[in-house]
Amino acid sequence: MFTSMKCIAAGVLCAALSFGAALAEPKTPAPAGNAPTTWAPPAEIAPKAAPAETPPPKAETPAAAAHPAPAASGAKTHAEREKDCRAQADAKGLHGKERKQFKSDCLKG
C-alpha cells in the first residue's frame, strides 16, 4: 500500500508542476493574418556567411602522388588475387593445411 501511495503522490506532484508552469507562462498574441510563423536560430548559432572567394582546389597533393591508385597501374586488387589463388588451389585439389599454406604463399607472391 505504501508504494501505491508514493506513486499517487508523485503523479499529483508532476501534474501540479506541469500545470503550474503552463499557467505561469505568458501568452503571446497570435500573429496578424493566417501566415505561419517561421523559426530562425539565434545569432549565436546561426551559420556564418560564406567567404566571398574560395581558393581553387589544388591539382594534386604530394601524398596522393606518392600513392598511385592500384587500378591505374594495372595491378590486381587483393580480392582479384585471392580469387585467382582460390581457383589455382581448386585446380590442384588442395584441402586443409596444404590449401591454406598454398593460398598464403600465392597471395604473398
| pLDDT at residue number 99 | 93
Grid coordinates representing 17 are 508542476
| CA dist., res. 87 & res. 81, Å (int) | 10
Instruction: Answer yes or no: is 14 within a domain.
Output: no
| pLDDT at residue number 8 | 84
Instruction: Answer yes or no: is 23 within a domain.
Output: no
Encode the chain (109 residues) as per-residue pLDDT tens digits: 556 888 888 888 888 777 766 665 566 666 566 666 777 777 777 666 655 566 666 655 555 555 555 445 567 888 899 999 999 999 999 999 999 999 999 988 7
Report how many domains make up the chain. Answer: 1
Q: Which domain holds residue 106?
A: 73-109
Instruction: Answer yes or no: is 21 within a domain.
Output: no
DSSP 20-53: HHHHHSPPPPPPSSSPPP-----TTTSPPPPPS-
Q: Whole-prediction pTM value?
A: 0.33
| pLDDT at residue number 31 | 58
